[in-house]
Structure 1
Amino acid sequence: MSGVGPVEPGEGTRAWDTVEPAPPFLPGTPRERLTSLYARHRRAVLASTTVVALVAGGGYLFATRPHDPPPPEAPNPSQAVSITYLGQEGTPAGAPSRSFSFAVKVTAQDGPTITVVRISQPYASLSLTSVPPPPFRTKPGFGHKIVVTMHVTECANVPSNAAFPFLDVTLRNTRAIEDHSFILGERYAHDLSEALQVACSNDSRSSPKR
């Protein structure tokens, strides 16, 4: 029996090969088609350029944006502390004769903790102690009561009128350590003058007559 078999594919071909689709037909004259292709290409280029510009602009804005300002530097400790005179206090038990006590309030403003390193007074004829004894820390925003006791060591050199008395206080915070003189006002000056007179007059009355 004879017949014609299926056609074998030629060399380099496959039966399932498909033909590449022709590019879409653009209507119009060749010049119009060229203009349309150019317009499409130009829009693609412009879109790409816009994306690049936006990315570059965003990077520039990120690099030049304002930065947060650094935190403010802590003030000097004397500028962040106030000392207020509260009045006379009872002399503590066991204090030597010619002693008297008064209270002050130490208040630290908002900011780093301040340490009271030392409390003293300007008169050589007086010694001073306090409760609590320094050094001690002050908690910002709260008043701390300090009881100061003075002892007259030599009445001959005690001022007859303590018109402008003050306390010398050494303070320390994270910025500096400094000595500062705090004037406590007229009430403190009056009470101090009176206490000195009483202490030394009692001492003179208790001394034996020659």
Structure 2
Amino acid sequence: MSGIGPPEPGEGTRAWDDRQPDDALPAGRTRTALAAWYVRHRRIALALAAAAVLLGGGGYLYATRPQQPHPERRPAQVPYPAQVVDVTYLDARPPPAGAPPRSFSFAVLVSVASGPPVTVTRVSQPYAGLSLTTEPPAPFRTRADSARKITITMHVTDCEKAPRSAGLPFLDVTLRNTRAIQTQSFIPGARYAQDLSHALEVACSNRTR
């Protein structure tokens, strides 16, 4: 049940416990006239009170209704360098002039897909009997949406520790951007494995036991 105040008595309804003698009424007013005046004015007063409550309540509810927060505006997250860098094998190359004996070279392409520039701080390989240098020498930087050709030259320092056949060789590349420094292992693929195995066989074909 909704509403404000108790139900109003109908016209002519009497409350028996509120009866008063006629001589207690104001002069010139009968009980019937006073009852009609009371009912009429009380209904107007209640209507005004209800309107005030509704208006006041509506204003209160509007003022205290929680505001919807604005979506938080976060800057675009900088990706980790390993997420945007790829190393692609190109081909075998003759070693540069002045390289020590038992050296061989490969060309790879270092590309950066997006984000801030990425710096290659180090390139290495897993075999103990080999050393490695790059041209350009590390560290070198590559911008987003671009690629850089790198020449990797390996030198066999110990044929006993170098693999006779490289099954699944990889390159360890240390990358740096404004978010992180990571070392990522890249597997250049089957052609790289074949060319590396051939170069090792040639370099160590005259090794002594």
Same fold (TM over 0.5): yes
Matches within 5 A, 1:1-210: 30-31=37-38, 32-57=40-65, 60-62=66-68, 65=69, 67-68=71-72, 76-201=80-205, 204=206
In structure 2, distance between residues paired with 1:30 and 1:76: 84
- Per mean C-alpha deviation after superposition, the further-off stretch among 165-174 and 115-124 is 165-174
Q: CA deviation at 1:189?
A: 0.8
In structure 2, distance between residues paired with 1:137 and 1:30: 95
Residue identity over aligned pairs, in percent, reads 50
In structure 2, distance between residues paired with 1:183 and 1:40: 84
The match for 1:24 is: none
Q: CA deviation at 1:138?
A: 3.0
Q: CA deviation at 1:56?
A: 0.9
The match for 2:13 is: none
**1:53 partner letter:** L
- Per mean C-alpha deviation after superposition, the further-off stretch among 35-44 and 189-198 is 35-44
SS at match of 1:95: coil
Structure 2: 5+ residue stretches without partners:
1-35
Structure 1: 5+ residue stretches without partners:
1-28, 206-210
SS at match of 2:67: helix
Q: CA deviation at 1:192?
A: 0.9
Q: CA deviation at 1:112?
A: 4.4
The structure-2 alpha-carbon separation of the partners of 1:156 and 1:34, relative to structure 1 and needing over 3 Å to count, comes to closer
**1:45 partner letter:** V
**1:132 partner letter:** P
Normalising by structure 2, we get a TM-score of 0.66
Aligned length: 171
In structure 1, distance between residues paired with 2:194 and 2:95: 18
1:131-166 per-residue CA deviation (whole Å, 9 max, x = no partner) reads 221122332333322111112233444322122221
SS at match of 1:160: coil
SS at match of 1:61: coil
RMSD of equivalent CA atoms: 2.9
The match for 2:4 is: none
- Per mean C-alpha deviation after superposition, the further-off stretch among 35-44 and 85-94 is 35-44
In structure 2, distance between residues paired with 1:132 and 1:55: 67
In structure 2, distance between residues paired with 1:142 and 1:89: 23
